Each structure stands twice: as structure tokens, then as C-alpha cells.
Amino acid sequence: MKRDFSEKELARAGSFALCLSGSAWIALAAGHYRLAPVLCPCMGAGSVRPSTSVHMLLAMNPPASLAVGWLLMLAAMMAPALIAPVWQIRVLSLARRRGRSIALFTAAYAAVWMVAGCVLLGIELAAELLAPSALLVATPAAIVALLWQCSPVKQTCLNRCHAHGTLSAFGAAADLSAIKFGLAHGFWCVGSCWALMLFPMLLHQGHEASMAIVGLFMWGERLERPRPPGWRIRGAGRAIRMVTAQSRIRLEDRRNAATA
């Protein structure tokens, strides 16, 4: 009975996360919000004074619009990675507190990523203003992302993303524990994913497509089990094996149905 309850809550958490992610991708694909800044051709490369460039940049890219675009991108990319912690909150919280605890956890998690977004968007805007070509920006970002992906610190952050502590059940302590859980999970998630997030942000074309690919990769690597920190190539091998196995099963079912 307890196992059936856990599986049901996991299915609910997964459905909610996937619906949220899909809705955010649809909103981004509609083009109302951008993940990349809009630049005037006269900006950058020393053609205008830096103070003038910054003023024009802010006028063409309202901070509120960038914040909404970042929040949508965060929901699109990170919602699938929150299935496990949201499932844990649903299982460990009292029925009357589940929605409240999930909301507090999500708000704290998003707050950490919004702060990180200010830094990453600042780097993106500075690169757009100062770099003479996209290649000089994207190449170092790709090298940094590759090194970070293979580093022991990356593995430490991934391991901590799997560490889900206990939650208090009653009163203010329950609210505080949900907030702490969200802040901690957001912190380690930023530590794990910041370099992978930055690289597609610095590409001049294909931001949404590259972000979608990175999002799938980050979801896949979350399925990997914790490992001792060390220098190694990390990927989404387990996710690929799961998709391959499911594809084979469905293909065999179709063949059996066709021959029946």
C-alpha cells in the first residue's frame, strides 16, 4: 500500500513537472520573450561610448522582460529535474500541507536561480557589447563548460543534488524546512549547471534549440547515481539506455502486433 502511494505521488509530480516544462517551452517558442538580448548594430566594437551603449542596451532590453524570459526558460529546462524533490515533499508532507510546502520549495529554488540569472545575463550582455565576434565568445565558454563538466566540483554538486534531507511536519518549522530545502537544492543545482547554461546563452543563433538540448542533457545526468568526485567525462548514459530500452520494447510490441 505504501509503495502504491509513493508510485502514485511520483506519477503526479512527474506529470505536473512535464506539463509546466511543456507550457514554458510553448511560451518561449511563441516569441513573446527572448533568451538573448536585442542589440543595435551601432553598439559594441567601440562605435559608441560605453555609457551610451549600456543606456541603449537597457532601453532595448527591459529588465522585467529579461526576468520573465529567464523565469520561463528556468521552468522549461529545470522542471523535469525537480520531479524527485517534489515527489519527496509530497510523500513526506501532511496532505493539507503538500501544496504549501511545494510552493515554498519552488519559490526558494527559483529565487536562487534568479540571482544566478542576473550574473549569467550580465555576462551575456557584457559579451555582446565587448566581443567583436561570436566565435571569440562561444569558444571560451565551450571550453569552460567542458572543463567544469569533467571536474570533481561538478560531481560534488551533482551528488548534493541527490541528497534530500528530512522535512518537518508541523507549523513554521515545516515552512522553514521547505524553504531551506529549496535554497540548498537551488544552490547545488546552479553549481552543477551554470556552465552548461551559459554556453548556449552566448550563441548568436539557435538559443531555444540549444537550450532544449542542454535541458535534456541535464535531465539525463540527474538520473545517474552519485559517484566519488574526480576528473572524468560525464554524460547522460543512463538516460540514453532507458530511452533505447523503451524504444526496443515498443518496436517489438509493434512487430508482435503486426504478426499476430
What per-residue confidence (pLDDT) applies to 152?
A: 96
What per-residue confidence (pLDDT) applies to 230?
A: 93
What per-residue confidence (pLDDT) applies to 1?
A: 47
98 near 122, Cβ under 8 Å?
Answer: no
Domain ranges of the chain: 2-259
Query: How remote is the C-alpha of 180 from its chain's centroid?
Result: 19
Vertex 163 angle, CA 160 and 166, to 5°: 140
What per-residue confidence (pLDDT) applies to 37?
A: 58
Q: Which residues of the chain have pLDDT under 50?
A: 1-2, 45-46, 48, 50
Considering the chain, what percentage of its residues have pLDDT values greater than 90?
Answer: 39
pTM (predicted TM-score)? 0.86
Q: Encode pLDDT of 91-110 as tens digits.
A: 888 889 999 999 999 999 99
